[in-house]
Structures are given as C-alpha cells and as structure tokens.
C-alpha cells in the first residue's frame, strides 16, 4: 500500500472530522481510515497535507496521550498551544485520553457509563 491520493484523502477526512476540543491517536485515525497498521502513514499524511486546507493536525497525538514531537521543539510548543486554546488541559505533560479522546467519547455514549465530560 502507498500514500496515493485516495489514501491521503481517507486520512485527511478522518482528521478533519475530529471535533474541536477532542483528540485522536495516530493508530485510531489509521484504523478509522481503513489502515489498522498504518499509524506511521498518518504522520506522513499530516506532513503532506496542504497548508491551505487548514487540517486540524494538532488534534492528532500518540497513544500515550503525548505530543509526538520532541518536547523542546517548536512544533511541540505550537501544538500544545493550539490544543490548550481549544480547552484541552495537559496533566504531567499528557492529555487525558479518557476525557478528550474522541473515540473514547463515542464508546462512553454507547455504553452509557458515568462520564466526566459535560
């Protein structure tokens, strides 16, 4: 499989569907786009996204709830700023996926558990 136009489109679509204030892990984006093992392709797809489409790339983080960039890089600070601007709080340098994870929210809605978010 390669990053052809269709693949990129599928990944970009998933990312663009993430509502403000929520995040999704690379692996989950890959799965929803139809590539369960394609987590690494997602990172490439994000980097290949045209700046003009204003893709919410900052809502994509790794499965550990952490930003994928080195914490001392410019990209790291920028992503964190964008996320906090949407109301996402960082605890110990990490995002609480149970609370801000988009898929997690869907699951909670389905299973109807006690969910902390409004």
Query: Rule CB under 7 A: which residues touch DNA?
Result: 1-3, 25-27, 37-44, 46-47, 57-58, 60, 62-64, 68-69, 75, 79, 92, 94
Minimum separation from the CB atom of position 114 to DNA (A):
21
Minimum separation from the CB atom of position 47 to DNA (A):
4
Rank residues 1 and 118 by Cβ distance to DNA and give the closer one. 1
Minimum separation from the CB atom of position 28 to DNA (A):
7
Rank residues 39 and 115 by Cβ distance to DNA and give the closer one. 39
DSSP E strands: which ranges in the chain?
24-25, 60-61, 90-91, 94-95
Whether 48 and 8 have beta carbons less than 8 Å apart is answered as yes
Minimum separation from the CB atom of position 58 to DNA (A):
7
Rank residues 96 and 108 by Cβ distance to DNA and give the closer one. 96
Q: How many other CB atoms sit within 10 Å of the CB of residue 10? A: 18
Cα–Cα distances in angstroms (integers) from residue 109 to residues 15, 26, 103, 106, in the given order: 20, 22, 10, 5
Handedness of CA 18, 94, 42, 101 (dihedral sign): negative
Rank residues 5 and 114 by Cβ distance to DNA and give the closer one. 5
């Amino acid at each position: 499989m390669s990053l052809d136009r269709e693949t990129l489109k599928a990944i970009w679509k998933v990312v663009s569907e993430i509502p403000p204030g929520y995040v999704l892990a690379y692996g989950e984006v890959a799965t929803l786009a139809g590539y369960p093992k394609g987590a690494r392709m997602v990172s490439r797809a994000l980097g290949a996204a045209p700046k003009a489409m204003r893709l919410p790339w900052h809502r994509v983080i790794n499965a550990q709830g952490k930003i994928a960039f080195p914490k001392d890089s410019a990209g790291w600070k920028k992503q964190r700023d964008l996320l906090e601007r949407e109301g996402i709080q960082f605890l110990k340098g990490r995002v609480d996926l149970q609370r801000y994870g988009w898929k997690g929210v869907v699951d909670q809605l389905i299973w109807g558990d006690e969910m902390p978010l409004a």
